[in-house]
Amino acid sequence: MLCLNWTPVPFLAFALASLVAEPAAIPDIPVSAPAGTNRVTAGAAIQPAKGSPGEVVTVFVKVRIASGHWIYALEDSGSSSLPTSLATPSGSALRPTEHWRGPEPKGKEDGSRIYKGEALFQRRFVIEPGATEALTKLPLTLTCQVCNEALCWPPETISLEPMLKIVRSR
């Protein structure tokens, strides 16, 4: 019987550390205040704004919701109302590595889960190995249903296109 004096813990710690990307700094995302029939406004940014194939970037989406209004939580709204969703097309230079994450929704008396005021969503993407050097737009859509105490409007979709500069390996 061969017995090696090898401990896998340091190796595993190194391997896991190399797979986990550093958290991206939250960029300043200018978003106009909701007004009139624009009860929700949104903006998006990619951090870092420049990357090479194989690197991980984070896409941030900032949503502002008019006073007295709300939108429903991601994935599970806790009610029959439409949950908020964010979508990116497949086949882009960026491939998602995780699901969209957002703030903890607030619970309402009826069991629904909502966001009020502002919400910041984020998702990590890896730049595809075959991505060409270019200034690239990432088309994404935010779909949400806006409500207040009196009524809920039909779902609306906001289209966003944050930019990423893809460069050769650094």
Confidence at 6, pLDDT banded by 50, 70, 90: very low
Per-residue pLDDT of 88-113, as tens digits, reads 988 889 999 999 999 999 999 988 99
Separation CA 150–CA 158 (nearest Å)? 23
The pLDDT assigned to 170 comes to 58
What mean pLDDT value characterizes the chain? 86
pLDDT beyond 80 at 148? yes
Q: What residue segments make up the domains of the chain, in order of their start?
A: 21-30+38-162
Of 148, 78, 63, residue with least CA distance to 113: 78
154's tokens: 């039909």
Select 21-30+38-162's CATH number: 3.30.365.10, 3.50.50.60, 2.40.30.30, 2.60.40.1250: 2.60.40.1250
